[in-house]
Structure 1
Amino acid sequence: MMTGKRLVISALVLALVQIGFLSWIIAGRAAILRDGKQVLLKVEPIDPRDLLRGDYVRLGYEISRIPVKLIANVPAGKLTSDDTSIVVRLKRGADGYWAAAAAWFGQAPAPAATDEADIVGHVAEGWDLSAATTIAPDYGIERFYLPEGEGMAIENDMRVRPFGVRVAIAANGTAQIKALMDGDKTLFEEPLY
């Protein structure tokens, strides 16, 4: 049987481990937001409400539909397996928005140049690459939460004028939404912590 002192020490160690784990997750996200390469993606709204977390804008991007012909290394079996990763090389267009220039399953053959950025997404299982013309990667930046009551108005505005999302991309291709943009105006910016 544990003594009272051992029980208190065990509880403190467990609490410190939990706090350390949560801090590690938060610090990792903040590091991407602070140090990641920033790109601007054109968005397409999808739907604005989550019953548990409140208003949000579900976002689709031009890079959410990658033409199969853009993928340099289509697998021999021409089917994607469970949670296949894809690297999409982005390049800035004349309009300021970044778009897909090339893509690879697994890893890019060479690092991105200074005027490029690589974003990593995941492709669901079962895409028949011999029949599909596009695939739809998930980058983990498909939702942006907003203050209560703002979701529907912003979704309606997105249907009539261009919106963008400023995204920070870490060196390993992980992306975080940094800000929601209405043209050149920043509407909402994510805090580091």
Structure 2
Amino acid sequence: MSDQPMEKKRRLTLLLIIVVLQVLFLGGIATSYYAVGWFGTEIKIKTVPVDPRDFLYGDYVTLGYEISTLNPQLWRESANKPSQGEAVYVLLKPSANGLYEATGIYRSKPSTQAGEAVLKGTVDYSWDDLLRIEYGLERYYVPEGTGKELEREARNMIVRVKIAPWGQARINGLEEVTPS
């Protein structure tokens, strides 16, 4: 008879542990997203958007970056160039106009110097004269009703991206290119 209260106590303890682990897991996901904003380095990338609507999430702009379509000559590894679905790291350096440009593609994360950044991506496809890379930054959600307007204006847009030291990246905002 004395086993029943002990068994209930064990079950309650196990349930409590499971709930706490779930809360910690969800809190960790949320914290990692915000930590990019706190600790990340901001870079600017030239973009061209594509599509403005998602039935579940509302308006968005699909973004295509100049650094998404790269010359295979930027491949810095001795082995064969990467194949479709392979993870790669793209080394970015600021150009004279302040926008970041790709200067190298690697299989493992390269070391950086001051002012440089590294974006992790996945090879979408690879041809003889072209590497197409996706970074997970191709979709940017905007307020309802503004997707189509942004799509028209986005030919003159720059994306501000925050990259955390551990490699996670997120879009921090869009800004218009000012004519010089």
Say whether the fold is shared (TM-score over 0.5): yes
Shift of 1:11: 3.4
CA–CA distance in structure 2, aligned partners of residues 33 and 114 of structure 1: 19
Select 2:31's aligned residue among 27, 30, 33. Answer: 27
Shift of 1:13: 2.5
Select 1:134's aligned residue among 130, 136, 146. Answer: 130
Give the corresponding residue for 1:183.
177
Shift of 1:6: 4.8
SS across alignment from 1:14: helix
Give the corresponding residue for 1:187.
none
- In the TM superposition, 1:9-28 aligns within 5 A as 9-28=13-32
Shift of 1:15: 2.1
- In the TM superposition, 1:103-142 aligns within 5 A as 103-108=105-110, 111-124=111-124, 127=126, 131-142=127-138
CA–CA distance in structure 1, aligned partners of residues 165 and 152 of structure 2: 34
95-104 vs 41-50, greater mean Cα deviation: 95-104
Distance 1:155 1:87, change over 3 A: same
CA–CA distance in structure 2, aligned partners of residues 45 and 58 of structure 1: 5
Give the corresponding residue for 1:95.
97
Distance 1:74 1:163, change over 3 A: farther
CA–CA distance in structure 1, aligned partners of residues 78 and 87 of structure 2: 12
Asked if 1:37 corresponds to 2:41, the answer is yes
Q: TM-score, normalised by structure 1?
A: 0.80
Give the corresponding residue for 1:154.
150
Asked if 1:173 corresponds to 2:173, the answer is no
* Structure showing the higher helix proportion among its residues: 2
- Tell me the amino acid that sits aligned with residue 114 of structure 1: A
Matched-pair contact (CA < 8 Å) for 1:73–1:105 = yes
Deviation digits for residues 23-71 of structure 1 (CA, Å, limit 9, x no counterpart): 1011111111211111001111010111111111111101111110111
- Tell me the amino acid that sits aligned with residue 16 of structure 1: V
CA–CA distance in structure 1, aligned partners of residues 18 and 148 of structure 2: 42
- Tell me the amino acid that sits aligned with residue 169 of structure 1: I
Matched-pair contact (CA < 8 Å) for 2:82–2:123 = no
Give the corresponding residue for 1:48.
52
CA RMSD of the aligned region, Å?
2.2
Greater gyration radius? 2
Distance 1:85 1:79, change over 3 A: closer
Gaps of 5+ in 2: none
CA–CA distance in structure 2, aligned partners of residues 79 and 61 of structure 1: 19
Identity over the aligned pairs, expressed in percent?
A: 33
